[in-house]
Amino acid sequence: MSKDKIIKSYKLKNGEVRYMFRLYMGVDSLTGKAMSTTRRGFKTKAEAQDALAELRVQVNNGTYKKRAVETYEDIYNIWIEVYEDTVQDSTFLKTSRIFRNHILPDMGDYKIDMIDVAICQMHVNQWAKRLKRFNMVKAYAAMVITFAMRRGLIDKNPFELVEIPTVKKRISLEDDEEDNFYTREQLIELLDCLKKEGNLRRYTFFHLLAFSGMRKSEGFGLTWRDVDFVNNEIRINKAVARSEEGIYLGPTKNGLSRTIKMDNKTMDLLKVWKREQAEKYLDRGFNTLKKNQLVFPNTKNDLHEPNKTYQWLKRVLDKFQLDPITTHGLRHTHCSLLFEAGVTIKEVQVRLGHQDVKTTLDIYTHVTKKTQARTIEKFNEYISN
C-alpha cells in the first residue's frame, strides 16, 4: 500500500488542513486482535510521510514502543474497539460515522487531560447550531470521556457540567407541520397510484408495509417460509442490516421475533406476487422455489438495499402530486389507523414490535391530538349547518 493511500487530509473548523494516517501494527500475541496506531495533526503531508516512515522503521526493527494515550482520539480508538462488541453492526456503523463526521474533527487533537468544561461547552454550542440531534452527539462524545475516567486518565467528565443550549424556534403563522403518516383516505389513494404504476413487486411491498406495520428492513428480510398462507400469519424474525462491508441479514431492531396476523387481501396479493416472481426470476436464471427464497430480493435475487424505497416512493408522490410521506411513515400510518380502529396500546406495541411502550405512546399521543382537532372541526361544521 502506498503512502498516499494511508495518509489522508482533513480540515479543522477554522478551515486549516491537517494530515493523518493509521498504520497496521500486526497482531497482538496476547489477544489475537489486529493492532493499529493513528497519528494526526501534521501541518504538511511531508511531515506525515516522515513520521510514517520513521514509525515503519521502528516496527520493522522491533524498537517501536506504544505511545502513551494522550489525545481524545487516542482514547476513542481504544473505546471504539470495546464498543463494537456491545452493539449491532448497524449501530456501530452509525456511531462511527457520528464520531468521524462531527466529534473527532472538533475534539480529536485535544490532550485528554486538558479537556475542560469550557471546551466541551464550546463544541456543544457549535453542534447545537448546525445539528438537529446535537444532544445525541454530545452524549456520544461524553461516552469516550467516561471511558477515560474508568481507565484513570481523567478525574471527571466535564460534559456533565455543560449547559444545554436552547434552540430558538420561530413560530410561523402558517401551519407548516408535516405529519409523517397518512389518513385512511390518503393511504387508499397512495396504494391506488402505486397499483397504476404496474410494478407488482413495489406495489406489494408498500401494501405489505402499510397493512402490517413492519419496518422496511424487516420487509426486505422476509423469506417465503416466513409467510404462512394457511393461517394468514407472517413471522418477523430478521431484518436487513448494514455494516462497513455492506448489507447482510441480521436480527430485528430490538432482537425480538414476532408473528402477526394478516388480512386476506394482503395475503392474496402476496400469492400473486409469488407466482409472478417465480416466472420473472426463472427467466433471469434463478430458482425461487428454494426454502430460503427472499420475498423481495433485488434483480440479482439477493438482499435488497433498503434505501432504494426512497426513490420508488418519491417517484409516485411527485407524479401524482400526493402529500409527502416516507417509507417509515407507512409504519406510523398503520399504527395510527390501528388506534383509530380501537385497538389497544398493548396490542399495537406487540404488533409493531416496540420493545418500549413509550415509543407506542408517543405515536398514540400525536394521533390523539389530530383526532381532537378533527373532532372540533366536525362539531363546528355541524353547528354551522
pLDDT, tens digit (0-9, with 9 covering 90-100), for 304-323: 999 899 999 999 999 999 99
For helices 308-319 and 327-340, angle between their N-to-C axes, nearest 10 degrees: 70
User: What are 217's three cell numbers?
Assistant: 428492513
- Is 80 exceeded by the pLDDT of residue 79? yes
Q: Is the pLDDT of residue 381 over 70?
A: no
- Give me the pLDDT at residue 253, please: 84
Is the separation of the CB atoms in 343 and 355 below 8 Å? no
Q: Which pLDDT score is estimated for 28?
A: 61
* Highest mean pLDDT pick, 23-32, 185-194, 243-252: 185-194
- CA–CA gap between residue 110 and residue 72 (Å, rounded): 6
Q: Torsion angle of alpha carbons 172, 175, 181, 183, nearest 10°?
A: 170
Mean pLDDT of 220-244: 94
Per-residue pLDDT, 312? 95
Residue 29 is predicted with a pLDDT of 55
Q: Residue 101 carries which DSSP code?
A: I
Q: Which three cell numbers stand for residue 295?
A: 420475498
Q: What local confidence, expressed as pLDDT, does residue 309 receive?
A: 94
Grade residue 25 by pLDDT with cuts at 50, 70 and 90. confident
Give 189's contacts (C-beta < 8 A, 6+ positions apart): 320, 322
Integer angstrom CA distances of residue 243 from 90, 98, 99, 170: 6, 14, 16, 39
Dihedral (CA of 210, 215, 219, 223) sign: negative
Query: What does the block give as the cell for 240?
Result: 436487513
**The dihedral formed by the CA atoms of 380, 381, 382 and 385, expressed in degrees to the nearest 10:** 120
Q: Residue 176's pLDDT band (boundaries 50, 70, 90)?
A: very low
Per residue in 360-376, pLDDT tens? Answer: 777 666 666 655 555 55
CA distance 176 to 241: 33
The secondary structure of residue 110, as a DSSP letter, is S
Looking at this protein, which amino acid is placed at residue 4? D
